[in-house]
Amino acid sequence: MNTFNALVVREAEEGNPKSAAASIEQLTDADLPVYAGTESVVVDIDYSSLNYKDGMALTGKGRIIRSFPMVPGIDFAGTVVSSESDRFAAGDGVILTGWAVGERYWGGYSQRQRVQADWLVKRPESMTSEQAMGIGTAGLTAMLCVLGLEAGGVRPDHGPIVVTGAAGGVGSVAIALLSKLGYDVTAVTGRPEEHDYLRSLGASGFLSRDEMSAAPKPLEAETWAGAVDVVGSNMLAKIIAQTKYQGTVTACGLAGGIDLPSTVMPFILRGVRLQGIDSVMAPLADRAAAWSRLATDLSSDLLAAMTEVVPMSSLPEQGEAIMSGKTRGRVVVNPNA
């Protein structure tokens, strides 16, 4: 029977929360989850990636994992081994992001996985598995934000776009995409040492996390044609108050908090549009459109510059790093290293 390695998180012993830990275990095909009543696909995983949710799962700092044992990893790219679906055949390159994989269902920190066919999209032919996970969930979310800005009618000649959490995965990909599309991008980061990195991706201006986290006024000077925000709370409220007439703000994260201390004034006096972005349950058509755009709109050189590849064995340390805000760009996980 085929054996493979996977990173498994098991539930803490009663009265001993420190006993919950992620460790690499050797599994067999018989250990993989079975999805009754749905078409399943078995995939040999080439790469996964590290996202904020993965950090929460690996460190236990958030109730992300819903059942145990769990193989974390909210995304992966790989090659189909076998398929019950007519949509996929052995040898197809596929990508999975979202659908609560790595939370409710076993995910990408494994050399092999069985998933529902409806969770997969075909990998663009021009994109390698490593590039697909260099993009990953964070990059897909960034592309959905860009599509949200475009749907809101925001054009490059309307004014600058502000991107928060700029040195992270979503922020890095968003800056690279927007700059290539001709937008003037201002990056918000709490790490001034990353300015050169962000400038290399296309950022033309910088603001500090502290100045953008101050309590906002109901309306502030019109500054931004649009925004990509991963922070929430005061920062999102401040951006909304600074958004130009009929500008669009895309919101996809809550790193700074789930609250939104804003007022209706930017919406009823300036016609500001607040567009929520969800990549977890996004329809397959939206995912396919986003991946198609990523294959053409994201520079492979910039993607390589923002990507670090690490072995699966390093994930406990990588989880702590992303939760401490110490990672940069995209961290790709090689389960076969």
Q: Is the pLDDT of residue 19 over 70?
A: no
CATH architecture assignment, domain 137-276: 3-Layer(aba) Sandwich (3.40)
Q: Is the pLDDT of residue 13 over 70?
A: no
C-alpha 26, offset from chain centre: 28
The first and second tokens of residue 172, run together, are: 């890095």
Instruction: For residues 32 and 106, give the distance between their C-alpha atoms in angstroms, rounded to a whole number.
Output: 8
pTM, entire model: 0.92
Predicted local distance difference test score (pLDDT) of residue 110: 98
Predicted local distance difference test score (pLDDT) of residue 31: 97
Predicted local distance difference test score (pLDDT) of residue 11: 82
Predicted local distance difference test score (pLDDT) of residue 194: 96
217 Cβ neighbours under 8 A, 6+ residues apart: 241
Q: CATH for 3-123+306-334? A: 3.90.180.10
Domain pair 3-123+306-334 / 137-276, same fold: no
As a whole number, the mean pLDDT across the chain is 95
**Which DSSP string corresponds to 35-61?**
-TTS-EEEEEEEEEEE-HHHHHHHHT-
Q: Is the pLDDT of residue 327 over 70?
A: yes
Three-state secondary structure call for residue 269? helix
**Which DSSP string corresponds to 217-264?**
PSS----EEEEEES--HHHHHHHHHHEEEEEEEEE---TT-S-----S
pLDDT digits (tens, 9 = 90+) for 127-142: 999 999 999 999 999 9
All structural domains of the chain with their residue ranges: 3-123+306-334, 137-276
Mean pLDDT of the region 282-296: 95
Give the residue from 330, 273, 333 showing the smallest Cα distance to 145: 273
285 Cβ neighbours under 8 A, 6+ residues apart: none
Confidence of residue 21 (pLDDT cuts 50, 70, 90): confident
pLDDT digits (tens, 9 = 90+) for 222-271: 999 999 999 999 999 999 999 999 999 999 999 899 999 999 999 999 99
